[in-house]
Structure 1
């Protein structure tokens, strides 16, 4: 027996409001397979509802039941469940999504939504420093990126890293006379 549209709506609402018993009842009646296909009018899946509302207990229940690809499911705004968890400041949910051994892992952090934001960007927009910091620590910096950053650091010009440079200043007085001055590490010298 397949779930009706009302059954589908009910299980999404159960995910949103944290009703684990209703979700268990749905699974016992219809199996876990329909959970991966159910979407609301904005293309949100059960994990969007659960993660956006911080229901870690339901997330733990669902993770072994749904395909790992559902962790990266994007809604009509291209946001993933991780975007929603970050936007709503649910650290334990964010951590579980990223650290789930059978899921996409840290690759989730790099997914951009339609606004061009990663989950880190959503955390920053929500002024959630704790979550943004944790996500940055987990980011996927591969060897190529690390080499590029190292090379960029080696190629920084001296004036960019605080080595004193000479500064030339021109000052015009009330009579229109211009005085030029060079300020250097050894002191100022005046020339006219």
Structure 2
């Protein structure tokens, strides 16, 4: 016996159920149509079930995580990095809506893209960390910075060793947001002290 295909109305109902964290309704959809349509369901803006799952600020955090716990094992891991029409991933939405537990589950999902999700930029040029900073979500921004992969960004810095006697070599390091930090390598304690006197 073949499983019925969902109609556009069925998909719309599914996305609404995901938006409001109605696990029972999501379960009924899966029972009727199987899990495959979950991966292809999109609204008019290209949002997936994972975007919709934590799309609203008013959704209860418990319901959001319950729905996410139900959905994640049924979805291909690639859906965690799926972008909507604005180039935003589900993690962008979690950041915009200050959903820490949801953000953590998306990043920590076994077999998913992991911390690489934090570096994906949307059409506005913002990563999920950038979105967290935009909405002044300090708790989320702090967590993103704690777990994000800085190895590649700092590798060049770690491998720079000023030659003997070479002082005050300035390097620039660009973060995921395109912000540039400048630092001076090879500065001796005496030159630092004299610089401090000049600036005070």
1:155 aligned to 2:185?
A: yes
SS of 2:74 mapped into structure 1: coil
- Greater shift in the superposed pair: 106-115 or 149-158: 149-158
Q: Gaps spanning 5+ residues in structure 2: where?
A: 161-170, 172-182
C-alpha deviation, 1:75, in angstroms: 0.1
Contact 1:43–1:76 (8 Å) recurs in 2: yes
CA distance in 1, matches of 2:199, 2:147: 44
1:101 aligned to 2:110?
A: yes
C-alpha deviation, 1:155, in angstroms: 2.5
CA distance in 2, matches of 1:184, 1:28: 69
Q: What TM-score comes out, normalization by structure 2 length?
A: 0.77
Say how many residue pairs are matched.
Answer: 168
Instruction: Report what 1:69 is aligned to.
Output: 78
Structure 1 104/184 Cα, relative in aligned 2: closer, same or farther at 3 Å? closer
What are the Cα deviations for residues 127-151 of structure 1, in whole angstroms up to 9, with x where unaligned? 0011000001111122x43232333
Instruction: Report what 1:135 is aligned to.
Output: 144
From 34, 44, 54, give the equivalent of 1:51. 54
C-alpha deviation, 1:166, in angstroms: 11
SS of 2:32 mapped into structure 1: helix
C-alpha deviation, 1:102, in angstroms: 1.8
CA distance in 1, matches of 2:199, 2:130: 42
C-alpha deviation, 1:162, in angstroms: 4.5
Q: Gaps spanning 5+ residues in structure 1: where?
A: 168-182, 186-192
SS of 1:75 mapped into structure 2: coil
C-alpha deviation, 1:4, in angstroms: 0.2
Q: What TM-score comes out, normalization by structure 1 length?
A: 0.80
CA distance in 1, matches of 2:108, 2:40: 23
Structure 1 155/84 Cα, relative in aligned 2: closer, same or farther at 3 Å? same
Instruction: Report what 2:25 is aligned to.
Output: 22
Bigger Rg over Cα: 1
CA distance in 1, matches of 2:199, 2:94: 53
SS of 1:101 mapped into structure 2: coil
Structure 1 165/47 Cα, relative in aligned 2: closer, same or farther at 3 Å? closer
